[in-house]
Amino acid sequence: MIPRPFEYHAPKTLPEAIALLNEYGEGAKLLAGGHSLLPMMKLRFAEPAHLIDLGKLTELKGIREAGGEIRIGAMTTENELIWSELLQTKCPLIVEGARQISDPQVRYRGTLGGDLSHGDPGNDHPALMIALDASFVLTGEQGERVVPADSFFVGTYTTLLEPGEIMTEIRIPTPAAGTGYCYAKLKRKTGDFATAAAAVTLRIGAAGVSDVRIALTNVAETAIRAIDAEQYLRGKPLDEPAIAETARLAMAACAPVADLRGDAEYKRAMAGEMTRRALTTAYARAAH
Amino acid sequence: MSKKIMVSFKLNGKETDVVVEPRELLIHTLREKCLQTGPHIGCETSHCGACTVDFDGMSVKSCTMLTVQAEGADVLTVEGLAQGGELHALQEGFMQEHGLQCGFCTPGMLMRAYRLLQENPEPSEEDIRYWMAGNLCRCTGYQNIVKAVQYAARKLRGEAVETSHPLMTADTH
């Protein structure tokens, strides 16, 4: 319950935050919503000497559309995602996903950028962002670089973020009207991390599925994209045998870790089942 | 030992200054320095919501916030809910509908429901269960908490309220 002592910094601008991050180096941690970091500090899994609170950086908040993309500030909270009319209309997958994350109190504080930067395979946004073909803006002393969600997650709690960098914005190509979507999440109870979950976006053309992206939560050391499953399904009608084979290929991509949520075999089977459900719902929601 | 910091915020309408170590959690400041011991601690993994307070228009779990983050904030705890000695509709609802037993989760439940009813004055039963999911209760089984929130919602909308467990009415005498 009691974190180790640390020094607290509340920069008012992004350059100030980056300067502090460089000054204190390895001993510093960025504080966003604080709903992953503080729990780890309370259990002494994390013992940073300096916390750099991004809470005053209003420039990292907000949801807007620009240049065919939806751009979301990294400090935008889950609750703000859920109530965004722009997202409800143009990118409802994020809303459906965010509604399944944790609980109301946590969603008032936890941020999109924090959920992604944490690199926990149990978090939901990594798979959602892969399914949406998002990219992330990482800002450091040298300026910005933009990396795709698809390659951002390197390992458990490990991402492409370099020391001295802050994720500042999430960019999502505005989904074409009629894009089908679903986030199917199996969990033991409200607020729990997924036993397995599947995020799907797809479009239907004359010959069947013209485009599809499938990403899986908590069934490997990072969120994963089920590339073989996508490749198999592209250009095919979404009938029962095609769904079954796609789910089988998604299962083959999994490498789950056994824990209290189940053994590897169960989690792999549930990843297949969540893929089947997400595909079925996304298909029903897509324009035909 | 890290340097102590003075933090100023509004607590139940009153300007409050505290001096804390950066690592001090808001729940500990509220309970130990401000002596508002209604908010409780039921876990150390941010699940139970017994520490819920209203913070700048948000329901937050005060065990998962640092007091230093409260600089300039407007904080309301259960102690600030009744006005002029008169119970808030939610407090009355929890009493009338038997929405508490041991009372340990109740301050957090009340503060969460307080924000919920401002955001959604007419919640369905499903809405109440979904938007109160960050608060655990060991005693009630939640049924009567749902009724208590519905009671308060009706009262706050200016509608006639009737308890689902009438204690004693004039014609039963």
DSSP class per residue in B108-139: HHHHHHHHHHHH-SS--HHHHHHHTTT---SS
| A76-100 pLDDT, tens digit each | 999 999 999 999 999 999 999 999 9
The confidence score (pLDDT) of residue B100 equals 98
- Does the pLDDT of residue B170 top 80, yes or no? no
φ, ψ for residue B121 (rounded to 5)? -70, -15
CA dihedral B54, B60, B65, B66 (to 10 degrees): 0
B27, B45, B56, B69: which to substitute to probe chain A, counting the most A Cβ within 10 Å? B69
Distance CA A146, CA A154 (A): 16
Contact B23 A2 (CB under 8 A): yes
The confidence score (pLDDT) of residue B1 equals 59
Contact B2 A190 (CB under 8 A): no
- Does the pLDDT of residue B18 top 50, yes or no? yes
pLDDT by 10-residue block (mean), chain A, 288 residues: 97 98 96 98 97 97 97 98 98 98 98 98 98 98 97 97 97 97 97 97 96 98 98 97 98 98 98 98 96
Q: Are B134 and B104 in contact (CB under 8 A)?
A: no
To the nearest 10 degrees (0 to 180), the angle between helices B106-119 and B143-156 is 50
Residue A79 touches partner B, C-beta closer than 8 Å = yes
B5, B66, B130: which to substitute to probe chain A, counting the most A Cβ within 10 Å? B66
The confidence score (pLDDT) of residue A266 equals 98
Same fold, B5-80 and B89-157: no
| Fold of the domain built from segment(s) B5-80 | Ubiquitin-like (UB roll) (3.10.20)
Beta strand pairing status for B52-55 and B58-61? Answer: antiparallel
Q: How confident is the model at residue B75 (pLDDT cuts 50, 70, 90)?
A: very high
Residue A260 touches partner B, C-beta closer than 8 Å = no
Chain B residues whose beta carbon lies within 8 Å of the beta carbon of residue A42: 25, 44, 63
CA distance B164 to chain A (A): 27
Number of H helices, E strands in chain A: 12, 14
Q: Are A221 and A245 in contact (CB under 8 A)?
A: no
The confidence score (pLDDT) of residue B129 equals 98
Helix, strand or coil for residue A152? Answer: helix
User: Is 1.10.150.120 the CATH classification of the domain at B89-157?
Assistant: yes
- Does the pLDDT of residue B173 top 50, yes or no? no
Residue A108 touches partner B, C-beta closer than 8 Å = yes
Distance CA A153, CA A259 (A): 21
Chain B residues whose beta carbon lies within 8 Å of the beta carbon of residue A7: 2-3, 22
CA distance B46 to chain A (A): 7
Superfamily name and number for A180-285: CO dehydrogenase flavoprotein, C-terminal domain (3.30.390.50)
Distance CA A114, CA A109 (A): 10
Contact B52 A105 (CB under 8 A): yes
The confidence score (pLDDT) of residue B42 equals 98
Token pair 């036993």 is found at A195
CA distance A105 to chain B (A): 5
Chain A residues whose beta carbon lies within 8 Å of the beta carbon of residue B2: 5-8
The confidence score (pLDDT) of residue A228 equals 98
Q: Which residue of chain A is at minimal alpha-carbon distance from B134?
A: A103
Q: Which residue of chain B is at minimal alpha-carbon distance from A10?
A: B69
Q: Which residue of chain B is at minimal alpha-carbon distance from A40?
A: B45
Q: What does the domain layout of chain B look like in residue ranges?
A: 5-80, 89-157
The confidence score (pLDDT) of residue B168 equals 55
Class level of CATH domain A64-171? alpha beta
Q: Provide the CATH number for the domain formed by A7-53 in this structure.
A: 3.30.43.10
Q: What does the domain layout of chain A look like in residue ranges?
A: 7-53, 64-171, 180-285
| B139-162 pLDDT, tens digit each | 999 999 999 999 999 999 999 998
Q: How confident is the model at residue B167 (pLDDT cuts 50, 70, 90)?
A: low
Residue A27 touches partner B, C-beta closer than 8 Å = no
Distance CA B116, CA B35 (A): 26
Q: ipTM for the complex? A: 0.95
> In B, what residues contact A, Cβ < 8 A?
1-3, 5, 21-23, 25, 41, 44-47, 49, 52, 58-61, 63-66, 68-69, 71, 112, 116, 130-134
Q: How confident is the model at residue B172 (pLDDT cuts 50, 70, 90)?
A: very low
The total number of residues shown for chain B amounts to 173
Distance CA B138, CA B123 (A): 23
Contact A104 B69 (CB under 8 A): no
